[in-house]
Amino acid sequence: MRGFDFAVLVHEILIDSRNEWTIENIADRLGVTYEVLYARLGTNMRVAFSADEIRELIRQMPDPRLLYYLLDGTPFIAVDRLQPDFQNEQNLVLKMMSAVAEVGDIAKQMGVALGDNKIDHQDRSRLLNEVVEAEHALANLRAGLDTSSVKS
């Protein structure tokens, strides 16, 4: 069914206990009832999200996994919208540290994956997720450098 994988992803994000989003509060933020949102989620999906609903969902639930899904297989990478105060040295350093940490996560996952001298489908999936996170962090650093007012 059209939109099923996206609906499953949204449902997984909403039931993830590490974030503050619930079906109830996102439905409220979107201005729909619990039942209307639930009809669009996971294996219960009866109605696909519209483009406008997806845009508003991303505004109300800015989880990068939504963008990674939508941009997968395209030549595009999601980059955080720059805030006006981004263009200072301290924020550039923070973006650089984030990029280094993400690359470190790739190295750690690669070590785990190669512990048994092979990369299986689960290892591959974890590694690809880490690469996407690193690409995002590097793209954010590049965007900051491209618009930076750092003195040379």
Output the 3-class SS for 48-100.
Answer: CCCHHHHHHHHHHCCCHHHHHHHHCCCCCCCCCCCCHHHCCHHHHHHHHHHHH
What local confidence, expressed as pLDDT, does residue 85 receive?
59
Residue 7 in contact with residue 51, Cβ under 8 Å?
no
Measure the CA–CA gap between 78 and 142, rounded to whole angstroms: 12
Q: Which amino acid is at 17?
A: S
Q: Which DSSP symbol is given to 3?
A: T
Residue 92: the pLDDT is 82
Per-domain residue ranges for the chain?
Answer: 4-71, 84-146
Tokens of 41: 């989620």
Looking at residue 83, what is its pLDDT? 64
Alpha-carbon distances of 79 from 44, 53, 69, 92, rounded to whole Å = 31, 21, 14, 14
85 touches 131 (CB < 8 A): no
**Are 151 and 89 contacting, i.e. CB atoms less than 8 angstroms apart?**
no
Whole-number pLDDT of residue 81: 72
Question: Cα separations (Å) of 64 from 72, 102, 110, 137?
Answer: 12, 14, 22, 11
Hey, is 13 helix, strand or coil?
Answer: helix
The pLDDT of 71-97, averaged and rounded, is 79
pLDDT in tens, 18-66: 778 888 999 999 999 999 998 898 777 888 899 999 999 999 998 888 9
Phi and psi, residue 12, nearest 5°: -60, -40
Give tens-digit pLDDT for 117-130: 889 988 998 898 89
